[in-house]
Amino acid sequence: MTIYVDADACPVTRLTEQIARESGLPMVILCDTNHEMHSEYARVQIVGAGPDAVDLALINQCRRGDIVVTQDYGVAALALGKGTYGIHQSGKWYTDENIDSLLMERHLARKARQSGKHHMKGPAKRTEEDDLRYARSLRDLIAMVRNRETEAAERQG
């Protein structure tokens, strides 16, 4: 299991790195040339500055059983299709049960913005409570994935 982070404008990259290190999990941080990052623990991959360059690189690299951290519902949907586990910076897990409604929300928000009639507020300032919620959720996700891996290995036995 590897943790992949869609790190362009991601406020939980360092927190994810801390948890990956604590958990002994490899981690890959993907960012474009406008968001160069450095890490003493994770592998940092700097991707060209195309509009979907980081997204495509992440989807091409992740594998079944990996964890993908992204705020992009489209990336999350593609990652789920590959058998990965997804988590939003809020701590919400992406699942087969919720991804369709999240994609519909994104579509409706885009239509509202394009109509010019609705002004959408940006996200609220991130709080320490947000970070605690995300950290707890990521640790729970790692534990769940490890349990599933253990159960699968026992069945193959």
Q: How many domains does the chain have?
A: 1
Locate 105 and state its tokens. 């929300």
Q: Do residues 26 and 2 lie in contact, with contact meaning Cβ atoms separated by under 8 Å?
A: yes
Q: What percent of the chain has pLDDT over 90?
A: 69
**Residues spanned by the domain of 148:** 3-156
Give the CATH number, domain containing residue 48: 3.40.50
Q: What percent of the chain has pLDDT over 70?
A: 89
Q: State pLDDT tens for residues 8-50.
A: 889 999 999 999 999 999 999 999 988 878 999 999 999 987 8
Threshold 0.85, pTM exceeds:
yes
Nearest Cα to 1, choosing from 130, 148, 155, 136? 148
Q: Do residues 66 and 2 lie in contact, with contact meaning Cβ atoms separated by under 8 Å?
A: yes
pLDDT given for residue 15 in this prediction: 97
